[in-house]
Structure 1
Amino acid sequence: QQSTVIMALSSRAEPFLASNPKSYGSIHISLLGDLYDETSNPEGAILMSVAENKLCGDIILERLQEHKPFTQAMLNYTDGTGLPTFKPVLAEFMTRDVLKLGDKQTVKPEQLVVSAGCTGLLFQLSTLLFERGDSILIPTPYYPAFEQDFGFLGGVHLIPIDPTNAQYDLTLEDLNRAYNLAIERKQPPKAVLIANPHNPLGKIYSPEQLLMLVSWCREHKIHLISDEIYALSVFNPAVDGAFHSIAALLDNDLGEYVHILWGVSKDLGSSGLRVGALYSHNAALVRAIGANNTAHQVSNAIQELFTDMLQDATFMRYLIAENNARIQKNYLLLTQGLDALGLTYVPAGAGIFLFVNLQPLMREVSYEAERELHLALVEKIKWSLTPGEPCKHTTPGYFRVCYCWVSPAGVVEAMKRLKSFKDSLN
């Protein structure tokens, strides 16, 4: 019966039907009914495998609940690129807080497209910038869901830009190697995608690396997509330096080939409300996505909620500062726990991740052993992480820890359980 139903679907449905019950995403979903709570469920599962920030939910909920009642405008169709009353507010907020363009440059509302999360925008870019069979170059390790964002509908191949230095810096040599690999595979490279701040490393790219990358992309006439969805989550700039948006580095002269993404999911802890934005000076691309955005539009009600929130500069300054303080608290609890266990990690000053080396807990350094450890941590101490293998990390044994999914008490409990697991191996 099931195979008959599947055969009735198009070949485009096949990637969406593929599932792996042992993947970190499937495990996360399976454990949602048994979540750790310090009081009501102290033996529950501690989930640190999904890129969500839940630390300021109390502040955001209180603010959203203060919003005015529904209006007539919420009930009607609107512009495909976003609600006309929301886009100017979003443009001002991005100019001032996200991109930090200063007084001389501004984001124009007509250069923005508002969509149902950055995922919806990436899906659209996969079909509007690429032909099926083209490729996109992405530094490794990368956010695993980029594979579905570009591959599932667009049929775009992901070509890894594997770093050859311990700092995971971008270099011309690594870019050229990935570009030549794409050409060799007959998968024409049409774009580079970076996450800055980085997922899963929590790293900030330096201005020098970013300007080198822009120059390289323009020289090769390929697009640069800068995913800056963690731009406001910089809790310790001493690690990598301050965050610089590509827009600010280019004096807001993006040209036709540079495109920037930001949304409320991570920095504002609102992944369920589905608001993402594309900022581009490519008028044809903005027009194409605006026309294609019907299936990805954000509800008018949600856009009005964020119109009210983002235009309150005093509240947003408070929220951003408090969010970073809470992120740093969890980060310190996590790293102090790892330090006590003698486990190493890639120091992070931004984002909501820590990339941890758990090779000492593996029987050997292999992806098979990494998969075994992943399942053992779930089965024995109910701790779920993201393995490095789906992030395409070139060395087995590294795991992404999403430490903002849980409370500070949850982080402390995870470290207690990890100690007991490590002790059991001796």
Structure 2
Amino acid sequence: MNSKKIAKMSQSSLSQKGQTASESPARVDMEIYFEALDNPYHPTDNPKGALPMNVAENHLCWEMLRDRIQQVTREHEIPDWVASYGDPAGIPRFREATASFLENHLFGTHVNPDSLAFSVGATSVIEMTSFLLADPSDTAVIPAPSYPVYTGDIGVIPGVIRYDLQTHEELEELKNGIPINTQKLEQAKKDIEAKGSRFKILILTSPDNPTGGIYSEKQLRETADWCIANQIHLIVNEIYGLSLIDISHPEIKEDYPNPIEFVSFGKIMSEYQNPYLHFWYSFSKDFGVSGFRIGLLHSFNEELIQAYRNAGLSHSISNYTQWVMSEVLEDKAFLEQFFSTYRERLTESYLIVRKSLKRMNIPFNPSFGSLFVWMDWSKFLSEESAEGEEKLWMEIYQQTGVLLTPTNGFGHKKKGLYRMVITSLNQSKLQVAMDKLEDFTKKK
């Protein structure tokens, strides 16, 4: 029986959650994304092809990591334990190698391997943590705009409600950082409780998706204090923690009159060691290995780590992947070279986009980090509505081949803001994409 016939059945054979899942794609742009992948741009063979810039993938330094992994597999025999079961939260060697990586590259302080638990990618970590910390119909607060797929990650299986906290409306309000404070959190708590729910989790992403902003150390500490006092779990997602723009570059330095220093929440957690503070990370973005499916939770809440281990067997990372990445993480000289090169290339890509947006007079938020630029195309909307946003998004794609991330799901009230992924294309193709967008704006 095909899917069309199933859709016509008066009563679904699935559970209520299964039926909802069958009718709710994780992303509204996936069908068009796959269409774009089947029609890739080529300067001579397919100059009118697609330039997908909607999915958060990082291809800037893959060749370096690929060569190192190939070296590992050539020079080392696969250990016998790879073929056996292991600790669902991560084999000891991988936890130790990752703890050392976090210590040296993010936290700047000691990391106990026993405070880490792994599962297959960021989505799995978000789902598992939400499931273990909150009950169905509890609420997770997320400053808007934010990652659209958080909604499904916390909602489909854990049953947690997403609350989009409106911290600002115009891009210029982000010039001194993401404007979140305890007063706004207090108001959100009142709103949530008035609806009969509990404010159980606060999720911050730093560097932020999609704005590229970061939270200051002062903000993180004040927010942590408030969450602890209110027995609310604070989770900081640093999946882009090493995807930092060099804001001291002479071409962009003027964009940051009040620069904010990136301080990892892991450093703050090591001081507090409180059971209400948690940290998420994944190798998908900084390392550019989305397909490896490696995500982690760091927490001093021993009960949570044990629950993660007990419930996480179906979410375990393959032992082969853990072995290969342990070899990479233990090569400290390689990691230094890799991340130095990555930051240079990320900044170069950002410069290409910034120059073009300046020429087009498209407002954007100066990015401190992440894989994105958050832009205001509202002056090109035919109407300020969701329909107007989708129409412009499709018009850009159909006329230029450039596929931006649609506005749907970011939770921001202002219309006409779109996300651009600046790391999914090499720099020559990125320049082509920006040139095509410039041509588009000249014709509007």
**TM-score (norm. length: structure 2):** 0.91
State whether structure 2 residue 19 is matched by structure 1 residue 23: no
Give the alignment partner of residue 378 of structure 2, picking from 359, 368, 372. 359
Deviations 1:264-297 (A, max 9, x none): 1000001100111111010110001111111111
- The aligned residue for residue 189 of structure 2 is 179
- The aligned residue for residue 300 of structure 2 is 281
Identity of aligned residues (%): 27
Report the 3-state secondary structure (helix = DSSP H, G, I; strand = E; otherwise coil) of the residue aligned with 2:364. Answer: strand
- The aligned residue for residue 119 of structure 1 is 123
Cα distance change on mapping 1:39 and 1:174 into 2, 3 Å: farther
Structure 2: gaps of 5 or more residues: 249-255
Give the alignment partner of residue 132 of structure 1, picking from 133, 136, 139. 136
Partner amino acid, structure 1, of 2:267:
A
- The aligned residue for residue 394 of structure 1 is 413
State whether structure 2 residue 234 is matched by structure 1 residue 230: no
Give the alignment partner of residue 275 of structure 2, picking from 248, 256, 274. 256
Cα distance change on mapping 1:325 and 1:40 into 2, 3 Å: farther
- The aligned residue for residue 209 of structure 1 is 219
Report the 3-state secondary structure (helix = DSSP H, G, I; strand = E; otherwise coil) of the residue aligned with 2:38. Answer: helix
- The aligned residue for residue 79 of structure 1 is 87
Aligned 1:143-222 pairs, distance under 5 A: 143-164=147-168, 166-167=173-174, 168-222=178-232
Are 1:389 and 1:396, in contact at CA under 8 Å, matched by a contact in 2? no
Structure 1: gaps of 5 or more residues: none
Are 1:137 and 1:179, in contact at CA under 8 Å, matched by a contact in 2? no
The Cα RMSD (Å) is 1.8
Aligned 1:285-304 pairs, distance under 5 A: 285-304=304-323
Cα distance change on mapping 1:301 and 1:20 into 2, 3 Å: closer
State whether structure 2 residue 115 is matched by structure 1 residue 96: no
Of 359-368 and 345-354, the range deviating more from structure 2: 359-368
Cα distance change on mapping 1:75 and 1:13 into 2, 3 Å: same
Quote how far apart the aligned CAs of 1:15 are: 3.2
Quote how far apart the aligned CAs of 1:196 are: 0.8
State whether structure 2 residue 71 is matched by structure 1 residue 66: yes
Give the alignment partner of residue 341 of structure 1, picking from 335, 347, 360. 360
Partner amino acid, structure 1, of 2:166:
D
Report the 3-state secondary structure (helix = DSSP H, G, I; strand = E; otherwise coil) of the residue aligned with 1:136. Answer: strand
State whether structure 2 residue 264 is matched by structure 1 residue 245: yes
List structure 1 runs of 4+ shifted beyond 6 angstroms.
none
Q: Distance in 1 between matches of 2:35 and 2:26?
A: 9
Partner amino acid, structure 2, of 1:147:
T
Quote how far apart the aligned CAs of 1:187 are: 1.7
Quote how far apart the aligned CAs of 1:19 are: 4.2
**TM-score (norm. length: structure 1):** 0.95
Are 2:269 and 2:277, in contact at CA under 8 Å, matched by a contact in 1? no
Are 1:141 and 1:388, in contact at CA under 8 Å, matched by a contact in 2? no
Q: Distance in 1 between matches of 2:26 and 2:306?
A: 40
Q: Distance in 2 between matches of 1:38 and 1:258?
A: 49
Q: Distance in 2 between matches of 1:385 and 1:100?
A: 36
Q: Distance in 2 between matches of 1:6 and 1:147?
A: 26
Are 2:12 and 2:19, in contact at CA under 8 Å, matched by a contact in 1? no
- The aligned residue for residue 49 of structure 1 is 54
Q: Distance in 2 between matches of 1:169 and 1:241?
A: 13
Q: Distance in 1 between matches of 2:311 and 2:270?
A: 29
Are 1:124 and 1:289, in contact at CA under 8 Å, matched by a contact in 2? yes
Are 2:140 and 2:200, in contact at CA under 8 Å, matched by a contact in 1? yes
Cα distance change on mapping 1:22 and 1:142 into 2, 3 Å: closer
- The aligned residue for residue 146 of structure 2 is 142
Partner amino acid, structure 2, of 1:8:
S
Cα distance change on mapping 1:393 and 1:84 into 2, 3 Å: same
Partner amino acid, structure 2, of 1:150:
I
